[in-house]
Chains A and B, each alone.
Chain A
Amino acid sequence: MLNKTGIPTTEDLKTVTPSQERLKKGPVAIIECFQKIPCNPCTEACKQGAILPMQDINDLPKMDFDKCNGCGVCLSRCPGLAIFVVDGSYSAEEAMVRIPYEYLPVPQVEEEVVGVDRAGKELGTFKVKRIQSGGPKNKTYTVWLAVPQELAMEVRSIRLGGVRHAG
C-alpha cells in the first residue's frame, strides 16, 4: 500500500500509465501523483493542453496522452518530483527515461549510473544521455537515462557512488 510504504502499487500505476502503443510513439509524461493534495503547477506548466485544468485544486492531474508531446516542462515544475517522461521510441532495445534529480553530484553525460526502482532497488547500470539544468531559480535537474525497454516503467531514480545500505 502506497500510504504505508511510499511505494505506488501496480494498481496505482495502471491508472497513470499510457498504452504500449503510445509509449512506442514517442516521449510522454507519466504523472505518478496518487493523492489529492492542493497543488496545480503541472496544469499551468503544460502548454500543449495535455494536462487538463482542474475543477478543484485538490483534484488529481488528468492527462491526455495524445496531446502530450513529452516536452518535460511539467517534470521540472512538479513540486512533488512525481512526473517522469518515458520515450519508448528511443531505439529497438532501449527507452529513454527522464528523471527529476536534486542531489549532488550531478552526473555527467555518458556516465554510467545505477538505476533504481520506486522502492530504491537497484536495477542495473545505465548510461546518462543528457543533463538539463532547471536553471538558477528552479534548480531541479532532468537526467536522461537510456534503459532497456522492459525497464522503462521501472527505473525511477538513479544512485551515484556505489551502494547505499537501505535497511
Chain B
Amino acid sequence: MPALKEIEVLIIGGGPAGLCAAAAAADLGAGVLIIERDDKLGGQLVKQTHKFFGSRKQYAGERGYQIGNLLIEQCSTKAKVEVWSGTTALGIYEDGVVTAEKNGQHLKIKPQKIIIATGASEKMITFPNNDMPGIYGAGAVQTLMNVHGIVPGQRVLMIGAGNIGLIVSYQLLQAGVDVAAIIEAAPTIGGYLVHASKIRRAGVPILTSHTIKEAYGGESVEGAIICQLDENWQPIPGSEEDLKVDVICLAVGLSPLTELCFQADCQMNYIPELSGHVPLRNDYLETTRPGLYVAGDVSGVEEASSAMVEGRLAGISAAYSLAYGKDVAPKLQAEALAELSELRAGPAGQKTMQGLKKLMEKGGAGC
C-alpha cells in the first residue's frame, strides 16, 4: 500500500447511499474508493428482511438484504471501484488528506472529491435502569437476529412506533419472539400504517401516548413499568402498567452521523425535521466545503430509498465536477432530482421537505 493513496472520488461509508454513489461515479468514468468500517458492505440493508417501498427505480418490492446484495454485486463488477472494508475514516484534514485505520495501520488517502455517506446512529432515552442488561437498541437486535441468528430474549417491550420499531417488532415475531407491546410517546404512530396493521393483526398492541417509566430486574431486565401520557406529554398518575419482559428494545430515532462533516468544517445547521445537525449543501449535495458531498442519512434521516437516490446524485455530481460524463451528467442529475421530489411529494415526505426548506433558508446563519 502506498504511503499516500491517491484517488479521484473517495466514498466514506458503504451503505445504500455510498454504494449507489460509487456505482454512479464509476459509470461516468471516475476512479472510486469506498472505505467501510464494517467487514462487509451494505450498511443497514443487510439486516432488512422486509420488502421495500418506493418504485421500481428504487427496487421496490425487493427485500432490503436483496437490494444490498444487488448493490454490492453491482460495485464488485466495476473495475473503477475499489473497496477497503474494515477501514474506519479518522479525519479529513485542511490539505484534503483523509486518514483512516485498518488492522491497526494508519492510512492516508488523497482524494480529489469526497462523498460522506456515514449514515446515522441510534438515539437513546433516559429512564431508571436504562443501562441494565437486556436493554438494546433496535439496530443491535437486528444485528443479533438477522446477521448472527441469535434471538435477544423471550418477550420484548418495543419503545417507538416509527418504521424501525414496527419493522423490528415484525422481525422479532418472525423469529418466534413474543412482543408484549409497542409503546410510542407521540399521540400517533410514526411509521407506515401498513407495517403497524401487520403487527396489530399478529396480536401485538400498539400503545400511542405511552412511555416507559422504568425498567426493573436483578442482574438483567425482568420487566418494565409503562404509563400513559396526557396531551402535554406528562405521565397520567395511576395509568402505570407492569409488563413482564426480558428485553426492552429502543427504537426512538436516529441522529445523522456527522462528526466528519463537523471536522471538515462544513457549515452545519440544527434541523429537527432532519433529525439533528446536518451540513448545508446545494441541490447537488455539495457542502460548503468545495468538493465534499453528502448523501443518505448523514444529510438528514430519511428512508433507504431516498438514500440510494441521493447517493447516485452525489456520485454523478462528484464525477461531473471532475469533467466526467459531460454529455449525460446533467440529464442524470435531473432524473435523480426528479426521483427525490417524487419520493418526498406525499404526506410521508413533508417532514423532510420542511427540513430541507429550513436548512436552505438558514443558509449562511451557521449553527
Contact = CB atoms under 8 A, between A and B. Distances in A.
A32 B346 contact: no
Given A39-B60, A120-B204, A8 B197 contact: yes
Q: Is the interface of B mostly helix, strand, loop or mixed?
A: mixed
B41 interface: no
Interface of A: 1-8, 32-41, 44, 56-59, 77-82, 102-104, 116-121, 137-140, 156-157, 159, 164-167
A140 B50 CA distance: 10
Given A38-B54, A38-B346, A82-B194, A120 B189 contact: no
8 contacts: A1-B188, A6-B199, A32-B197, A35-B192, A37-B53, A77-B61, A116-B203, A164-B203
B200 A33 contact: no
A166 B66 contact: no
B193 A4 contact: no
A164 to B, nearest CB: 5
B200 A37 contact: no
A51 to B, nearest CB: 14
B148 interface: no
Contacts of A121: 203
B220 interface: no
B193 A118 contact: no
B66 A120 contact: no
A102 B51 CA distance: 11
Given A4-B187, A38-B343, A80-B53, A166 B204 contact: yes
Nearest to A82: B194
Interface residues of B, number: 46
B347 A81 contact: no
Contacts of B344: 38
B206 A6 contact: yes
A116 B197 CA distance: 13
A81 B188 contact: no
B198 A81 contact: yes
B291 interface: no
Given A80-B192, A167-B204, 10 more contacts: A4-B188, A6-B206, A8-B197, A38-B343, A39-B53, A39-B54, A57-B346, A80-B194, A119-B201, A156-B201
Nearest to A59: B346
